[in-house]
Amino acid sequence: MSDIAIRAVRPDDKERIVKAFRALDRRSVYLRFFSYRRDLGEAELRRITECDGVSEAVLVATVGSGDEETIVGLGGYVRSGAAADIAFVVEEDFQRRGIASRLLQQLAHIARANGITRFEADVLAENTPMLTVLRRSGLPMSASQGGSIVHATLSLA
């Protein structure tokens, strides 16, 4: 695990994020976006890489360094009042290594420091790995299911 670093996203990560997105398999894209997509739009990339770290925060999990640094995971939140919507994606070869859990814990720390009291996430019911990460986070969780989507709320209080 020590070879995987977690850090704040930077504006110069755009190319690394595009490369990471294109490396995802279709199923991971579907589980994250609830649809199949081939690319991220320029406006979306700008929003991800130029967030303020307060109302929107994005962390990346990386391996390697310098020109060889590769993004293998990304997690972020977007604030809405006292709550924030969270989302994560981890490249398949790096799943089951605790990366999403580490991203969640660090985002919770940032969110608390910025007055956010809860995280909310809409997760496909079939995405059991993500639901497991949320359930095992150590944060009080409530969940309700509507059709194929589970709405999870994690308390940061």
- CATH number assigned to the domain comprising residue 105: 3.40.630.30
Looking at the structure of the chain, the number of domains it has is: 1
Q: pLDDT-derived band of residue 34, with 50, 70 and 90 as boundaries?
A: low
- pLDDT at residue number 1: 43
C-alpha angle 134/136/140, rounded to 5°? Answer: 70
Say if residue 143's pLDDT is above 50. yes
Instruction: Please report, as a single letter, which amino acid is at residue 36.
Output: Y
Phi-psi region of 78 (alpha: psi -120 to 50; beta: other; left: phi over 0): beta
Mean pLDDT of 120-149: 93
- pLDDT at residue number 77: 97
In whole numbers, what is the pLDDT of the chain averaged over residues? 89
Concatenated DSSP letters of 131-147: HHHHHTTSS-EEEEEET
Distance CA 89, CA 124 (A): 13
Please give the span between the terminal C-alpha atoms of the chain, in angstroms, as a whole number: 29
Range of the domain at 58: 5-155
